[in-house]
Amino acid sequence: MENYQTLLYYCYSPIAEAEQFAADHLKFCKSLGLTGRIIVADEGLNGTVSGTKASCAAYMDAVHADERFAKTEFKIDEVAEPSFIKMHCRYKSEIVHSGLRDPNIINPNVQTGKHLEPVEFQKMIDQEDVIILDVRSNYEHNLGRFKNAVTLDIENFRDFPEKINELAKYKDKKVLTYCTGGIKCEKASALLLHHGFSDVYQLHGGIIKYGKEAGGEDFEGKCYVFDNRIAVDINTVNPKVVSTCYNCGKVTPKMINCANPECNEHITQCDDCGESLEGCCSVICTTNPRKRPYDGTGYYVKVPQPVKARL
């Protein structure tokens, strides 16, 4: 029985004294018994939290009661157990790291691509003058992506601005951007508009909302999520596995992070290679003395790296 919920959300809304807000918000979340990961910045909130249905309801009510975040949309998943072990709420320079911090150039509250609801997005994706653009990182779109999507060779979203020139050939097309929950598209679509793309759209609520409201049709593979679940199913209409094992090339839907904590690489890996490599991405990683025991899941909580002594 699924007695817990996991909430995915973001809100671009200026926060005064955001660093103090983050400390106070952490205490509040802990008082509700929530676990999760929240990023607070001067520009707003970005979080995934998990807990009992009652705790999640109380949290959503509290966020909506603050006029700064009244417009926040929550994507709600019913889960069998909390999707995190601990509760973190940290202050950072951006709620999604892009390196685009000049509000005169990129400000999602002023200009972004046209928001498409899932059903609208679904109707447009097969049109001839449309390009579907995945703005996520390699390990995310390797696991799952929309059929015929243009993917970018980027390790992190902060690499996205460097790819604008590669995308220039699509300036005369309708560009439909998408990501997990919508937050990256707010800045990605704004940057495209800034660079002269005239017809830019974004999937409102991202892949997660698309799965809930449009059945996930034509999303191939699974969707990477930033919690203990690692990946979730999206497509209930015409599902297809598109990811292959990093080690042997066999088709597999399984995503892991390397058992060597000093590597922690996100890869797709079949169970056979997981067993033979003890949850590592390579033979050399199996020799690391800090290697974590492989339990078959391939998920490990990130651990602090040892501090190197200064010379």
pLDDT of residue 98: 86
Residue 309 has a pLDDT of: 44
Residue 198 contacts by C-beta under 8 Å, 6 or more apart in sequence? 171
Q: What is the pLDDT of residue 5?
A: 98
What is the chain's length?
Answer: 311
At 302 the three-state DSSP class reads coil
Give me the domains of the chain, ranges plus CATH numbers: 4-91 (3.30.70.100), 114-225 (3.40.250.10), 244-301 (no CATH)
Burial degree of 99 (CB within 10 A; 0-12, 13-18, 19+): middle
Name residues of the chain where pLDDT drops below 70.
Answer: 1, 101, 103, 301-311
Q: pTM for the whole thing?
A: 0.91
220 — alpha (psi -120 to 50), left (phi > 0) or beta?
beta
- How are the residues of the chain apportioned to helix, strand and coil, as percentages rounded to the nearest 5? 30, 25, 50
Q: pLDDT at position 100, please?
A: 74
- Of the candidates 4, 8, 5, 2, the one whose C-alpha atom is nearest the C-alpha of residue 226 is 8
By annotation, the residues acting in catalysis are: 179
Cα separation, 154 vs 171, in Å, equals: 20
**Residue whose entry in the numeric block shows the structure tokens 């939290």:** 49
Distance CA 277, CA 249 (A): 15
pLDDT score recorded for residue 303:
53
CA angle in degrees (0–180, nearest 5) for 274-275-277: 65
Buried b (16+ CB within 10 A) or exposed e, 270-279: beebbeebeb
